[in-house]
Amino acid sequence: MNLSHKIQDDIFNPLAEVATNENIKTYVVGGYVRDLLLERKHKKDIDFVVLGDGISFAKKVAAKLNKETFLSIFKNFGTAMIRLNEIDLELEFVGARKESYRLDSRKPIVENGTLQDDQNRRDFTINAMSISINAENYGELIDPFGGLEDLKNKILKTPLPPDQTYSDDPLRMMRAIRFAAQLNFVIEKESFEAIKRNKKRIEIISWERISDELNKIMACPTPSVGFDLLYRSGLLEIILPEIQALQGVEEVDGQTHKDNFYHTIQVVDNICRTTDNLWSRWAALLHDIGKPKSKRFDKKVGWTFHGHEFLGAKMVPSVFKRLKLPLNDKMKYVQKLVKLSSRPAGLANEGITDSAIRRLLNEAGEDLEELMLLVEADITSRNKKLVQHYLNNFKLVRQKLIEIEEKDQVRNFQPPISGEEIIKTFNLEPCKEIGIIKSAIKEAIMDGKIPNDSKAAYDFMLKTGKEMGLSPS
C-alpha cells in the first residue's frame, strides 16, 4: 500500500531531501502512522526512524528547515528532537535499534539494528507500521505484523509474544488498556491473559509513568472502559487499591448495597460529558473511596456509609502522594469536592433551607459549579424516573444557590468584622475570645440571624462581647 497521497504535509519535503542527499533510509513510525490510517487527528509530534545515526540526521534536518527550530539532543538515548514553535510541532529522530531487557528494569540494552529490529520493539502491531519517505518508494507502508488488519478489526496485539512484550516493558500493559479506552479497541484475548500473568511487573515502573497513563485514561470520553480493564487484569489492585476496595456487593438479612466500583466508574463517565477538567474527573473517581471503611449494617435502616465523604477527603492526600500527583491546589481541589460531594444531594433530599445554602456557598466558593456537576454525575440509577426526580431537585438547589448568593453574597465569605477591629473595640490582647466572637458573627450570618453587612455585624459583635463580659473601650 502506498500512502504518498496522505503524507503531503510540507514538513516531509525537507526530510525527504536530506534522506535522499545523504542516502539514509528514513521512515515515519508509530502513532502518526496509526492515526493517519484511522483518519484521526494526531497530536503535534512525529517520530522518525533512520537506518544510521539519528542524532546526525536530525542536525542535518534542522539546518535544512527554513523555520525557527530548537534542536535537543539526548545522547544517552541516541535520540534528537526538533521543536518548531512556529507551527507547534515536534519531530523526534532515533536510529533503528534492537533492544534487550533485564528483569529488574524497563530500561533496555540498546544496539544498532535494522528497520525490522526497530519494529519488533514496538508495543503493538498498530504502532509498528512505518511509512517510507525515501525517494525510491516514498509513501510505501511497511507493515510486517498485520497492523493494518488489526486497525480494521479494532484489536490490540503485540508484535512479539505478549509475555515477552509486557515483561520487557511493563508500562505497555497500561498502554494497552489506555489505547483500548482511547480508540475503543479490544485487547486480544491472549494478550490480555499475558497482562494478568505479568501484572506484578508493573511494580518496577515509576509512579510518575503510571500516573501519566492514568491521566490519559481519565481524558478518554469513557474512562470506565480503562478502569474496568485495570480491574479485570489485576493491575488496579496494585496501583489503586482504594478503588479496587469499592468492588463487590455484600448481603445481610437479604439486603444488599450497590457495587460501588461500577457505580464510581459510571460517575466518571457521566462527569466526562460535562467537563474536561482532569481534576474534577479525579474527584469523581475518588468521591466514594471512604465507603469501604465506613460501611455498616443496621437492621432498621440497612446499609449505611455515614461520613464516607469526610473519610474519603482525608484519604486523598495519601493517594496523590503515592501516585506522585501534584500535592498543591489541585490536590486540595479534589479533596474539597470529595468532602462536599454529598452536601447538595442532602439538600435535595431533605428540603432546602437558606442556612444550608449559605454554608454550601461559603464552603464551595468558586468551585461550586464543578461540585454541582459532580453530584449530578453521581446519579447512576437505572430508574429513569428516579434520575429525573433527583435532577429536578438539583434544579431547585441551583436556583436557590443563585437567589441566596445574589441576596447575601456569601460565596468565599469572610466576616465583615476583622480580628483587629475586635481587639480595638474591646481593648484586648490576642486571646481566644477574638476567635469566638468572629465565629459567632459568621454563624449568625450563615443562619440568617443578621444580614451580611458591617453595621449589623458590628452591633452583633457588641452584643456578643457584652454577653462574654467584655466592654467596649
In this structure, what C-alpha cell is assigned to residue 331? 490536590
Based on the fold, state whether residues 130 and 167 are members of the same structural domain: no
Residue 235 belongs to some domain of the structure: yes
Based on the fold, state whether residues 19 and 119 are members of the same structural domain: yes
Report the alpha-carbon distance of residue 27 to residue 132 in Å, rounded: 5
In this structure, what C-alpha cell is assigned to residue 64? 535544512
H helix or E strand, kind and range, residue 69: strand 69-74
- Angstrom distances, CA of residue 330 to CA of 158, 371, 413: 36, 14, 21
Based on the fold, state whether residues 63 and 166 are members of the same structural domain: no
Based on the fold, state whether residues 109 and 211 are members of the same structural domain: no
In this structure, what C-alpha cell is assigned to residue 392? 429536578
453: left (phi over 0), alpha (psi -120 to 50) or beta: beta
pLDDT at position 386, please? 73
pLDDT tens string 306-316? 888 999 999 99
**454-467 helix and 419-426 helix, angle to the nearest 10 degrees:** 50
Report the alpha-carbon distance of residue 312 to residue 319 in Å, rounded: 10
pLDDT at position 146, please? 94
Residue 206 belongs to some domain of the structure: yes
Full DSSP string of 241-273: HHHHTT----EETTEE---HHHHHHHHHHHHHT
Residue 436 belongs to some domain of the structure: yes
Number of domains the chain contains = 3
pLDDT at position 149, please? 96
Report the alpha-carbon distance of residue 116 to residue 121 in Å, rounded: 9
Based on the fold, state whether residues 34 and 114 are members of the same structural domain: yes
370 near 280, Cβ under 8 Å?
Answer: yes
In this structure, what C-alpha cell is assigned to residue 419? 480580628
pLDDT at position 347, please? 73
Based on the fold, state whether residues 33 and 145 are members of the same structural domain: yes
Based on the fold, state whether residues 161 and 147 are members of the same structural domain: no
H helix or E strand, kind and range, residue 132: strand 130-132
Which of 227, 267, 272, 283 lies closest to 381, judged by CA? 267
Among residues 152, 187, 212, which one ends one of the domains?
152
Based on the fold, state whether residues 133 and 158 are members of the same structural domain: no
Report the alpha-carbon distance of residue 36 to residue 50 in Å, rounded: 20
Based on the fold, state whether residues 142 and 44 are members of the same structural domain: yes
Based on the fold, state whether residues 169 and 90 are members of the same structural domain: no
Cα 32 from chain centre: 23
pLDDT tens string 241-268? 999 999 977 777 667 777 899 999 999 9
pLDDT at position 109, please? 55
The CATH number of the domain holding residue 90 is: 3.30.460.10
DSSP state of 140: B
Domain of 441, in residue numbers:
419-467
Based on the fold, state whether residues 93 and 195 are members of the same structural domain: no
Helices (H), 273-383: 278-286, 291-294, 308-323, 329-340, 343-350, 354-364, 368-377
Report the alpha-carbon distance of residue 352 to residue 350 in Å, rounded: 7
Which of 94, 5, 7, 110 lies closest to 52, judged by CA? 94
In this structure, what C-alpha cell is assigned to residue 261? 466500583
Place of cell 525515501: 134
pLDDT at position 290, please? 93
Among residues 214, 239, 264, which one ends one of the domains?
239
Among residues 152, 170, 188, which one ends one of the domains?
152
Question: What is the mean pLDDT, run by run of 10 residues, along the chain of 473 residues?
Answer: 79 88 90 90 84 88 81 83 85 77 58 73 91 91 94 95 92 96 96 97 95 96 97 97 89 74 95 96 96 82 82 96 96 96 74 76 85 89 74 78 71 75 86 86 81 85 87 80
Based on the fold, state whether residues 131 and 179 are members of the same structural domain: no
pLDDT at position 103, please? 61
pLDDT at position 427, please? 86
